[in-house]
Chain A
């Protein structure tokens, strides 16, 4: 609810037309439109290098084309002078590239260490990679969630990341570069968003069948909204009583009996210790995407997903539970109450 409200304010309109310019408008994964200081420092470095490269490109291609036009064989052209080399020239075009590269190297090394430094007072969030979704844990708040990473705007956050299975690669192009999630090791990535907004994330490293559908969203909220989000996330879900005859209560029965609890957790509804292999569903309805952020969270998509998950994400660990249409409807009604 809260999340959806914010989304309406910032509703990202994607234009259906793409103009015949190289730069794609409104690309949500665009690494060239940074929206935070980390991504911006990378962007600046990229453009410095880019323009130097353009300069070299123009000189070399210019020399190439010029030679072809000027020295193309003509009937009257004399035999060329047999020049075997020119030591001065050769030293020159060895030394000049060295100087150019040295000029690029200095800010490169500086930025490497700047990006790696742990920011002060940063919120720590754990990112755990699974085939094929990202799990987020907030150790300071005792929150476990998935697919949508919620962060305070205009404040750095420190991601501590590892993988539960294969290599993954966490990428929010508008906030920072990529970083691998490795089983058995912890890697770190800093994020910092300028202002409240929604960003897209994508797994960069090939991680098996549904790699392309291992996506994510990052939601940056104002401190006030973030605090109320935390407060809400910390609450348990309220279980429906057995006497309740609503569709949602029926859905809870489906949830408890069809096998969902083998892998999923709804805090307060099923007494589970420790982690389960699938996303925590306690506040499922707050999240605007599901299934590894491959689908928008709406009835139509939920129906497709619950009918046959592997149809949407090949290789998924969520089985086709052979649910009937009425069971699916009840389950969706239940999921919609998990706010």
Chain B
């Protein structure tokens, strides 16, 4: 007898999407892997745009008193370069890693809230598009009463108050037009995306770990995701409030930061950096995590001082909230505050040093395989140390009053965020490439990319140290010939173009290898963590059976034991284990329920830019459209049936 389970009666309106291929499957997906991939491509797209902006800046500075760009264009370009690289490139590319890897590293099917994850991605996309729509709709000009010799043009009608938006310069009187509104509201929208994913990842890590995956068995990358999520959750509300104040000042006549209304422009600095400094660690900790995965794998040794590295990461995250005023040593703060924040800044060097020494301890005595991911991780250590040391010279307050607002600072934070964060990210992109695409990247091209980037990077940012110390201020549209800074500026510009070439090599490698690369085995690096126990590319269901974890670096210990001397010895059963894992990974024995795709995240997210435009143009109709989209998205989300897969027939 056959009994058919009828699907529950549902209205067609709220039917869940069902495409598994094609564009709709991507738009409605809630699969953390697909979301991760989309995050990655979108962030890389913005990385290219931010890079182009940097090249334009460098052409302008390649000779003194140059007129390649107008002042308005230059100011818009450096503002958008900083804003783009931080909020639209490095942060989301880290989110790409979190999304793709976090569930795999803790043995989960997906994140705790898959639809929220999709929402976070779409808000990021709409936020980025909103911010960049300033080039089409935005306006900018001279301060009230000032004169311009020529039109601002489309290139100059982007936000121009700096990524730090110091008040009152970024206020309505001194930055008229709508461009800075696009900046303030755009960042507000992007912040929502990051907040949502932060809570999602925190919940996922606390609740979704597989059996045996205790906290102190989690891979360091997962730990750093955890730390970054807390940093986001605590620091973003600060900037969110400050950005609301800015928008209110600009659009609704409040005076939070305007002296003439009793406001305080220095308060903005405090609020901005109270967010802005943790933000630095939001950008760098993911790279710490990646490097902590890559170094042990390619050294064939466990991470030296796992616990110390984890605690140092959290120490950095915690102290990171207590150093903000070191961005303001020349500002209106007292000598006592200068001394206090100088000391706290020195303190943060200690856990950072602990990490570096532990990484060195990891490779010391290992058997180093110098593949591309390893090269980038080693390059990361070398470059990051330089950025860290110049950071210590900033903590020496009197010296910092000479360095602040000069190219010395530009050099410092590019050694941290490019030599650090971005080198780490490239290391990770190569390292997990086989797991994501099931193909191997081209090793020769990878090495060319590394060496070109290392050389270009140092040519670009090395000379900035002495350019700054010898008087080149930041955000400078032109510099006088008499300052004698021209020669090194030419070198810097050449370096920037070498970086651009290295990025092209990377892209060629990526596109070519993804199509025609060699088939990747599921454990190409003889790796240590459980994401390598599943087939490449990762199957939709991740793990066909929830893994049981017995130790830190569980997969390694399943393959290797130690002899009397403590050297690794491959277990006889290892090959058989790998074979079993592969068969099992591709043919799940049990029924797997995956979260269903949904239309509502993208609908909900699409309401936010409309609300943004509504505020900028004081438009009620746009506000209504935006609110309706939010309402439809939210209502549909809430009423969406959870399961629609019970339509199979059951035979008795």
Return chain B residues, CB-CB under 8 Å to A31: 402-403, 406, 469-471
Return the contact of A180 from the options B306, B332, B395, B485 (Cβ within 8 A).
B332
The answer to whether A337 has its CB under 8 Å from any CB of chain B is no
A310 to B146, CA, bound (A): 9
B341-358 CB mask vs A (1 if < 8 Å, else 0) is: 011001101100110111
Q: Does B169 contact A (CB under 8 A)?
A: yes
Contact string against A for B residues 144-171, beta-carbon threshold 8 Å, 1 for contact and 0 otherwise: 0111110000000000001000101100
Could you mark each residue 25-68 of chain A with 1 if its beta carbon is under 8 Å from any beta carbon of chain B, else 0?
11111111000000101100110011001001100110110011
Are A116 and B335 closer than 8 Å at their CB atoms? yes
Residues of B within 8 A of A268 (CB): none
Contact A206 B475, beta carbon cutoff 8 Å = yes
**Is the CB–CB distance between B471 and A27 below 8 Å?**
yes
Q: How far is the CA of A171 from the CA of B476 in the complex (A)?
A: 14
Pair A82/B470 contact, Cβ less than 8 Å? no
Contact yes or no, A64 B382, CB < 8 A = yes
**Extra pairs beyond A85-B358, A314-B71 (17, CB < 8 Å):** A27-B483, A28-B471, A29-B470, A31-B402, A53-B392, A71-B365, A73-B369, A81-B566, A85-B304, A108-B397, A109-B339, A208-B75, A212-B476, A212-B478, A310-B146, A315-B71, A315-B143
User: How many inter-chain contacts with C-beta < 8 Å in the A-B complex?
Assistant: 338
Give the distance in Å from the alpha carbon of A50 to the alpha carbon of B465 in the complex.
Answer: 12
Closest A residue by C-beta to B488: A24
Please determine whether B304 and A68 come into contact, CB atoms closer than 8 angstroms. Answer: no
A14 to B483 Cα, complex, angstroms:
9
Task: Pick out which of these stretches binds chain B: A86-94, A120-128, A138-146, A253-261.
Answer: A86-94
Q: Is B558 an interface residue (CB 8 A)?
A: no
**Residue contact B356 to A28, C-beta cutoff 8 Å:** no
Q: Mark A219-234, 1 if CB is under 8 A from B, else 0.
A: 0000000000000000
Report the bound CA distance from A46 to B390 in whole Å. Answer: 11
Which residue of chain B has its CB nearest to the CB of A47? B399
**Is the CB of B330 closer than 8 A to any CB of chain A?**
yes
Smallest Cβ-Cβ distance to A318: which chain B residue = B147
B363 & A71 in contact (Cβ 8 Å cutoff): yes
B308 surroundings in chain A (CB, below 8 A): 85, 90
Chain B residues close to A by CB (< 8 Å): 70-72, 75, 142-143, 145-149, 162, 166, 168-169, 174-175, 259, 264-266, 299-308, 330-332, 335, 338-339, 342-343, 346-347, 349-350, 353-354, 356-358, 360-361, 363-370, 378, 381-382, 385-386, 389-390, 392-393, 395-406, 463, 466-467, 469-480, 482-488, 562, 565-569
- Say whether A209 contacts B331, CB under 8 Å: no
A206 to B404, CA, bound (A): 12
Task: Give the docked Cα–Cα distance between A41 and B75 (Å).
Answer: 34
CB closest chain-B residue, reference A173: B471
A39 CB to nearest B CB, Å: 8
In the bound complex, CA of A77 to CA of B366 (Å): 10
Residue of B nearest to A209 (CB): B71
Does the CB pair B142–A86 fall under 8 Å?
no
Closest 5 CB pairs of A and B: A29-B471, A177-B401, A184-B259, A204-B405, A166-B169
